[in-house]
Amino acid sequence: MKKILALLGVIALQSVVCAAEQPALAGRPNIVFILADDLGWADTTLYGHTQFHRTPNLDRLAKRGMLFTRAHSASPLCSPTRSAIMTGLSPARTGITVPGCHEAKVILEAALAKGAPADKKSIMPVSVTRLKTEYRTLAETLKDAGYATAHFGKWHLGAEPYSPLQQGFDVDMPHWPGPGPAGSYVAPWKFPDFDADPGEPNQHIEDRMAKEAVKWMEKNKDHPFYLNYWMFSVHAPFDAKQALIEKYRGCVNPADAQRCPTYAAMVESMDDAVGTLLDTLDRLKLADRTLIVFTADNGGNMYNEVDGVTPTSNRPLRGGKATLFEGGTRVPGVVILPGVTQPGSRSDALIQSEDYYPTLLDVLGLQPAPGQQFDGRSILPALKGDALAGKAICQFFPHDPGVPDWLPPAVSVIRDDWKLIRIFHGGEKGAHRYLLFNHRDDLSEKNNLAAQEPGRVQELDALIEKFLADTKAVVPAPNPAFDPAKYHPEDEGKQKPKAKAKAKASAKDESDPKLQGWKARSCTASVKDGIVTIQSNGDAPFLGVGAGISGPAVAKLRVRCANGGKGKIELIPPGKKETEARRVPFTLKAGDWQEVSVDLPAMGPINILRVYLPAQQQSVDVDWIELKAGEQKKSWQF
């Protein structure tokens, strides 16, 4: 069905507005969509709420276009927002409501969980874990309209067959399904077939991504292109260039709520990447015909700890990532549409992630494909300086992750200055509970006015009800197992204590004895009839063993996988960190058994040997592994 719609869409998309209706740009503009990860509304210098972080290139962006003061993400978590940008549909409709798209289990339809603990008033839905290819994505629409398309950075909407390459993009780099960069921000990384440039052993991932994006823009500068630059920054893991960390360590003000040197360094590297893209558009003389969107996928992270403090503060907003308060969903927003947006302008229009897709179609004069629908609406009038009268936005987050300022499963609506949050079945006898805030007088959402404004609650709740019906959302249900004696309302909004780490298993029971000392990580490894079968349950599955041998060496293995793919051997010398490991790639052919031989150039002792296998989308079978260095030889015949 998707292919049929795409074919019909190509026909429909031939209708382009005439030059008189589009005076701003001769021909179709290039599109650069920059998405930061976990970047809070107060994390940049755009709104005047930080003196610690430095973002001169974001300020440079805003001076060229329109800064939105009330831009919102579709969700307080990343994957749901990413799906909304790609489809123009609410997470309530797609069913992607948590960032679980890197998990091994493929779930394509949302459904209620089978039950809930006795201290929960409602049963939560189970989130979808892949962006279904049946949805017509922004990339597919633009590709059918003649655009070159490329995705650089984080995706987190599913590995193949749900990767950017199956969703309308010609190029995807580093072709990674995980929630953050593989291993760290500073090379060496743990991507299966992507590493730092030769000669740059400590390359930052954003420097590399921006460099590759520049190459692609140079290659495609003579025809319209759509570049998705979706940063890994500033999501965990929390690390950065050491020199930048030390720079900010010397600027810490203990009285400032933002005082995390590592996070500030991460923000600067993110901003540097934006500058690289802007410099390239200027150098290629493309700036005057390039539409740029900059935003973030959710609010700033308030629940991890880095350098002894939380990564950031979203003040004056309440809450942060994973909450339905403004700190979780109000994000930076800048749009540059040459000839339309006034340089250095600001807009208080209410906009959301779902709006970008229909807006771009409106700007380009393109029609949706037959039967295609959007939950967002075009904000082109706002880009021209007009108001978006009566516009309301809804955010569906039917989960309770236990971060600071968490709420039970809920949905919200914002219209004009008012925001209503409905907590599903959070009241007495299964009734909903409501929080009502006036953002004009109470941006920090401290004063719940629901009891004083019952008429407004009823009016806004009707918008919520219509939204849930229109999107066919799978909503939380009353929990029949709820026990009031086990319910502790005083704990709402307090960060739940982290589960204690499990005690490390002894060498005796840590893995199957048939693995002969090999340990399975990010995967399961089962042995039957002398064959080890590897099945992934993480982003980078591997088998590891204490090598106890000195290099240079040769590693050999007999292996079988149906689809083939990229793998690598990783060597870690004694006393060295994982970031100092040596990695040697190899490629597996699809089909039957094959023997792979990999030369390992390491000099001196090899402490740990790891074999990474392409098991993310298939099971991989291993017959035997052999390691040989001169007269030394180790072999594992499973």
Quote the pLDDT of residue 96: 98
Q: Which of 385, 409, 438 is the last residue of a domain?
A: 385
Between 578 and 432, residue with greater pLDDT: 432
Query: For residues 139 and 168, is the Cβ–Cβ distance under 8 A?
Result: yes
Query: For residues 111 and 129, is the Cβ–Cβ distance under 8 A?
Result: no
Q: Which of 385, 417, 437 is the last residue of a domain?
A: 385
Structural tokens at position 635 = 């072999």
Question: Is 153 a residue whose pLDDT tops 50?
Answer: yes
Q: How far apart are CA 17 and CA 362, in angstroms?
A: 9
Q: How far apart are CA 283 and CA 44, in angstroms?
A: 26
Residue 576 maps to a domain: yes
DSSP 141-181: HHHHTT-EEEEEE---S-STTSSGGGTT-SEEES---SSS-
Between 3 and 175, residue with greater pLDDT: 175
Residue 395 maps to a domain: no
- 341 falls in which pLDDT band (50, 70, 90)? very high
Q: How far apart are CA 177 and CA 169, in angstroms?
A: 15
- 509 falls in which pLDDT band (50, 70, 90)? very low
* Residues spanned by the domain of 16: 2-90+131-385
Residue 483 maps to a domain: no
Q: How many CB atoms lie within 10 A of CB 40?
A: 32
Residue 507 maps to a domain: no
Q: What's the total number of domains in the chain? A: 2
Quote the pLDDT of residue 113: 95
Question: Is 481 a residue whose pLDDT tops 80?
Answer: yes
**Mean of all residue pLDDT scores within the chain:** 89
Instruction: State the pairing for strand pair 66-72/345-352.
Output: parallel
Between 196 and 121, residue with greater pLDDT: 121
Query: For residues 52 and 431, is the Cβ–Cβ distance under 8 A?
Result: no
Q: Which of 385, 420, 443 is the last residue of a domain?
A: 385
Least confident piece of the model among 66-70, 470-474, 522-526: 522-526
What is the 8-class DSSP label of residue 12? H
Least confident piece of the model among 13-17, 90-94, 239-243: 13-17
- 192 falls in which pLDDT band (50, 70, 90)? confident
Q: How many CB atoms lie within 10 A of CB 10?
A: 15
Residue 435 maps to a domain: no
Question: Is 109 a residue whose pLDDT tops 60?
Answer: yes
Quote the pLDDT of residue 535: 86
- 26 falls in which pLDDT band (50, 70, 90)? low
SS3 state of residue 222: coil
Q: What is the CATH number of the domain that holds 547?
A: 2.60.120.430
Which of 495, 524, 185 shows the shortest CA–CA distance to 319? 495
Quote the pLDDT of residue 143: 97
pLDDT in tens, 344-377: 999 999 999 999 999 999 999 999 999 999 999 9
Residue 171 maps to a domain: yes
Region 161-177: mean pLDDT is 96
* 153 and 294 part of one domain: yes
Question: Is 270 a residue whose pLDDT tops 70?
Answer: yes
Question: What angle is formed at CA 91 by the lines to CA 88 and CA 93, rounded to 5 degrees?
Answer: 80
- 92 falls in which pLDDT band (50, 70, 90)? very high
- 60 falls in which pLDDT band (50, 70, 90)? very high
Query: Terminal CA-to-CA distance of the chain, rounded, Å?
Result: 46
Quote the pLDDT of residue 501: 47
Q: What is the CATH number of the domain that holds 207?
A: 3.40.720.10
Instruction: State the pairing for strand pair 225-230/171-173.
Output: unpaired
- 583 falls in which pLDDT band (50, 70, 90)? confident
Which of 300, 359, 354, 230 shows the shortest CA–CA distance to 49? 300
Cα-Cα-Cα-Cα dihedral sign, residues 269, 274, 297, 2 = negative
Quote the pLDDT of residue 8: 43
Structural tokens at position 580 = 């100092």
Global pTM reads 0.80
Between 204 and 547, residue with greater pLDDT: 204
Residue 148 maps to a domain: yes
- 567 falls in which pLDDT band (50, 70, 90)? confident
Q: Find where tokens 């590297």 sit.
A: 269
Residue 447 maps to a domain: no
